[in-house]
Structure 1
């Protein structure tokens, strides 16, 4: 099955079913033991057998470029993912909502990474795609569109192959599904005969996603209709539980906890929280908007009060699949990983396995000591309390549920980007 997946991926990469560079030449290539009726596209035998894909992840807090290298080592073997070059810039595109040209410039700068990584002779055969997530989904449509048009202009001026659908805002459901595809592909679960897969938890700045393959039909039957998605892959239909919660990403949750989400007259208002150190008072910027925030200097602070505040952001909003009360295996990344590193739960280079209760325990320690012992971030108490609440009160995980916190799997970033690259090349049939 993995072999057939890569066959179909090659077909899409070289353009059998759509728009493709004129340099591509069609051949019929036979593989022992395979269905040799598939049309395969390849290039002359003396051409390079290394292929590239460039995916931009335009998130709410930063823009990242992923340059993937796929290599075919032998004529009778299929390409494998060989390498990923990754780089990011901050802030995200949404911070340039009123300056779209500057937003385009950040993408132009990151394209230099692709130019350094992809050989010049391969530029016009290498597709470049940008998909924006919650940052642009939260913007007014006209401002988001102006940013996308600037990116499209930057792409059109580049020497790379630019498909017709190269710049877009990604649907939150697809974001969750494609992250699940990435992690299960990299861990070897997606195409193994065991049918065992792992769930994924992605915590961005503006939104958060949960995706897993239900083991119980009751999970599917009890789930809201918008939490179940089907997609077909190589004669197999996967029925996933997946949902994206816009506004429940880490940074957006800070705004909601502070009561600043959608607030007006920002120049005159100060937003306070028991989750912040009492003497803390600063300007904080998210999505290109600056807020005045502070602790409650004359009041109380600490984990209990903070947890009550973040509960209001989670309670009644997040659906709880009953299956999560069992022994599900989940990989958690993005801000789950970053904040766990900042709190000293895991090593920043190795990652590690933690239980949900570990987040709660460390949140208590951080919140109850934040006034006496400053941390790496004044928001660490709020963030750790929110993550604890999201996992327990939101999704309904048990305290002893083990989460594998990771930034990379087999040296590849754990995100939706690789899955989106396969999606673009192979066109997953997502309903």
Structure 2
């Protein structure tokens, strides 16, 4: 751990004392020595290079220039994990290499020696290896991704350096009934890990596979078959040891959101021991294919009667970097982007079935952009296990306003709220207006994938909730509107021409934020994909817990 110098240090004192020349000279020598030390420390601790954030350069948190930092030499603690509680040893900051002649590598490709580190030449704990790798496989609903993380053991807890990231489609849930094929689908990812991690460290590099909403929706029997097959293949075909606790499992939705919160706020320097005391952690909203999560740290007015977070599944107590955080979190299964699409199509199809419509006729869908069409698979009324293909068209009815009316039904805003206040679908949530009025908001995953391609390369205007409605309005009007706004943006036009449901996607995102969570239209938001080459999402937070929270064993 690193503590601010103001917290534990011994001052160098040089008093002037009585007016004797010899003593005075000794005092000035001490002062001169202090100045040399201070200049050296300032040089060593100068801020790191600017971080890249969603394509916009923003400076890293400042605040190291006026304090000295020193290591905590106490032995690492053993984090205790309980339901809704998590204690993590905080990885040390990665701002200043031990050897200035070797710049801190930000990727595997720029690392001069992946088996070593530029931070130190020997580990703090002699029983630890100098470098520690960790493999985290994110088995999502639409694809599988491997995060190959490099840490070092220069400090009292593992220090994160960088990641190598590879992904492939489809996800494990696409192999329902074929567990062997599902397990084999991860081979290309694991082969990348074999090539990336130095061979001498293979047997001590832990691996975990965490499945998310895709397998949750698949059903327990089929999901268990797939997970068992993956576990067996990892154990017999690859040299990496499985972590002792739940190495291949479906991740709890609350952990998914909280680990994403840890990842983002760790990389943005808001929750580390050396972060500015005034730094307010971001609220993190993650939008996947099958589920969406919200995590934030509410602040209550002690003068009000309900000045505390209600007890329940939504409450998550986290200890990180020596500070305790009481977080609100909730994972909405069924409100991911792909599931939202299915919900909209099902509702539109049902509404059409109540009218006199010829069998096989095209169905108007206001959530498709004008003059676009899409063949969609919908459940047959009264038989959810049976599906049929239906052609839906935007025609001349596609519009943000009309689609938003559909979203009002999909969001189930009028569901019974047993514990107030509620966000949507009857879920308790503290009012963001009251308990998180000015905090920053970070949107991840599909939020970024859909919004970012439509933004101009550079703009000084902040992105707001209303900005999403503005984008959706022009997208839903169809190609003439696209050409008027994005005609010179090749990437945007390719995205729009390839995705008839872009109107639906943006309208759902706006409804989720504005109608669901009740953010004001003027609320500023940020979107993110990666910081300094590290993917945002839950994986890094889970890896930090993996290397710092359990006793790792090497594979024989």
Provide the TM-score with structure 2 as the length reference: 0.63
Aligned to 1:173: 254
1:143-182 Cα deviation digits (max 9, x unpaired): 1111101110121121111123210101111111110011
> In the alignment, does 2:337 pair up with 1:250?
yes
**1:354 aligned residue (451, 463, 479):** 463
**1:306 aligned residue (399, 403, 409):** 403
What's the offset of the Cα at 1:331?
1.1
> In the alignment, does 2:442 pair up with 1:331?
yes
Alignment length (residue pairs): 392
**2:366 aligned residue (258, 274, 281):** 274
Conserved in 2, the CA contact under 8 Å of 1:258 and 1:271? no
Aligned to 2:504: 382
What are structure 1's unaligned runs of at least 5 residues? 5-30
Instruction: Name the structure where strand makes up a greater proportion of residues.
Output: 1
Q: Do the aligned partners of residues 84 and 329 (structure 1) sit closer, same or farther apart at CA in structure 2, a change above 3 Å counting?
A: same
> In the alignment, does 2:430 pair up with 1:321?
yes
Q: Do the aligned partners of residues 328 and 294 (structure 1) sit closer, same or farther apart at CA in structure 2, a change above 3 Å counting?
A: farther
Q: Do the aligned partners of residues 244 and 324 (structure 1) sit closer, same or farther apart at CA in structure 2, a change above 3 Å counting?
A: farther
Aligned mates of 2:332, 2:248 — CA distance in 1 = 22
Aligned to 2:194: 115
Structure ID, larger Rg: 2
**2:295 aligned residue (207, 211, 214):** 211
Conserved in 2, the CA contact under 8 Å of 1:209 and 1:245? yes
What's the offset of the Cα at 1:407?
0.2
> In the alignment, does 2:443 pair up with 1:363?
no
What are structure 2's unaligned runs of at least 5 residues? 5-69, 79-121, 351-359, 380-385, 414-423, 483-495, 551-556
Superposed, 1:78-93 pairs within 5 Å as 79-93=158-172
Aligned to 1:162: 242
**1:135 aligned residue (214, 229, 251):** 214
RMSD, aligned α-carbons:
3.6
Conserved in 2, the CA contact under 8 Å of 1:270 and 1:292? no
Q: Do the aligned partners of residues 236 and 125 (structure 1) sit closer, same or farther apart at CA in structure 2, a change above 3 Å counting?
A: same
Q: Do the aligned partners of residues 281 and 214 (structure 1) sit closer, same or farther apart at CA in structure 2, a change above 3 Å counting?
A: closer
Aligned mates of 1:54, 1:351 — CA distance in 2 = 38
What's the offset of the Cα at 1:35?
2.7
Aligned to 1:417: 539
What's the offset of the Cα at 1:38?
6.3
Aligned mates of 2:125, 2:259 — CA distance in 1 = 33
> In the alignment, does 2:487 pair up with 1:406?
no
Q: Do the aligned partners of residues 122 and 43 (structure 1) sit closer, same or farther apart at CA in structure 2, a change above 3 Å counting?
A: farther
1:286-312 Cα deviation digits (max 9, x unpaired): 9xx986343346772211211111221
What's the offset of the Cα at 1:269?
11
Conserved in 1, the CA contact under 8 Å of 2:363 and 2:393? no
Aligned mates of 2:530, 2:138 — CA distance in 1 = 16
Q: Do the aligned partners of residues 36 and 254 (structure 1) sit closer, same or farther apart at CA in structure 2, a change above 3 Å counting?
A: closer
Conserved in 2, the CA contact under 8 Å of 1:337 and 1:351? no
Conserved in 1, the CA contact under 8 Å of 2:444 and 2:536? yes
Aligned to 2:184: 105
1:46-98 Cα deviation digits (max 9, x unpaired): 996221000000111111100001134x5x78652211000111111111112
Aligned mates of 2:141, 2:363 — CA distance in 1 = 21
> In the alignment, does 2:437 pair up with 1:345?
no
